[in-house]
Amino acid sequence: MDNYISERKDGSFKFTSNQNFHFESGASINPLELVYDTYGTLNEDKSNAIVVHHALSTGSHLAATEKNTHTGWWNDMVGSGRALDTDKYFIICINNLGSCYGSSGPLTINPETSQPYGADFPDVTVEDMVRSQKMLIDFFGIKQLHAVLGGSMGAMLSVMWLVLYPDHARHLISISSCAQGYPANHANRLIQKEIIQQDADWNNGHYTNSSQLQGFKIARKHGLLTYRNWTEINERFVGKQGRESIDNYLDYNAQKFVNRFDCNCYLRLIEAMDRFDLTESGTRQLDDVFRSIKARTLVISADSDVLFTPPQQEELYEALLLAGVKVDYIEHHTNYGHDAFLVEVDEFSSYIQAFIEAV
């Protein structure tokens, strides 16, 4: 079989394509594998599907199920009567190409060597991720999605989905993301990459144990500071024990992350975010990029976001508006910065539910 689906023990599914998958870089892999989770039931005319794109560090496990009772990263968003209502919609969340949670990436086996790809896995772009996912949606026989949505890097995929396939979704929601990285975004990720690559055990990506790379852990500490607003951090750790507390907070969370995530995967994904630029380095006007989009669109910005700042959300919104897209804009007031969509789930649930159910 060229394409087929298998079920995993944890209740997730795996889509396998034995056709060559070609990356933008010109490299290719075979097979292509995508792990995904579903919630709800696909209706008879296949018109009720919603694709939720995950952020950099999460995966396809959106919410707890009978077979996988672990809390999902948007657990309270999914279920009967919730924003992603499983009585109405068929929810699909796909682990991104290049990630480390089952889809093809540095941890999967290279059939030519019978060893993990590691540092030899091809460079990945957001467009590569979307094109791979479109293969799965086509395999389902879904002609048009009810909605496509995501936060942070996930929103990059959601917007790219409609740029590549303008008629393929009726609703688009972009949360805390951008149409192109700004210099500060590049600088943030450049520092993280250089910290990792200075580690004596890095070995050009051919390391022995990802979780023991001190450079990876330090890089993650740096990244953590951009996910929350500094005002919230200062208020949270104020007092005589503040410095010790922030030290412990960063150390604990960074170590927890590197214990579960692979360094080569991390680098592939942050590099994909770095290369994401719908203007193609200024050679295209954003409004021209968006002119074919038919979907009703919602852009949500967190007003305290220091990773993808409100001006980046406004740039995206204004370009969509200029292109004639039916677009709404919400500026969410929060002290939680970029992580707000993961922390204040009730508020974001209300935004999403109202939008995708509006006539």
Reduced to 3 states, what is the DSSP secondary structure of residue 82? coil
Report yes or no: 149 and 53 within 8 Å, Cβ to Cβ: yes
The residues, any chain, with a CB within 8 Å of residue 70's CB and separated by 6 or more, are 61, 64
The residues, any chain, with a CB within 8 Å of residue 283's CB and separated by 6 or more, are none
Distances in Å between the alpha carbon of 177 and those of 47, 231, 232, 315, 339?
A: 27, 21, 20, 11, 12
d(CA 277, CA 13): 31
d(CA 218, CA 283): 36
46 Rama class: left (phi>0) / alpha (psi -120 to 50) / beta: left
Q: Is 338 a catalytic residue?
A: yes
The residues, any chain, with a CB within 8 Å of residue 242's CB and separated by 6 or more, are none
d(CA 11, CA 46): 22
Q: Is 281 a catalytic residue?
A: no
Q: Which is the catalytic residue, given 57, 199, 338, 339?
A: 338
Number of H helices, E strands in the chain: 11, 15
Q: Which is the catalytic residue, given 17, 103, 132, 152?
A: 152
Report yes or no: 35 and 95 within 8 Å, Cβ to Cβ: yes
d(CA 186, CA 189): 5
Q: Which is the catalytic residue, given 85, 128, 305, 339?
A: 305
Q: Is 54 a catalytic residue?
A: no
User: Quick one: tokens of 327?
Assistant: 């677009």
d(CA 250, CA 351): 31
Catalytically active residues are 152, 305, 338
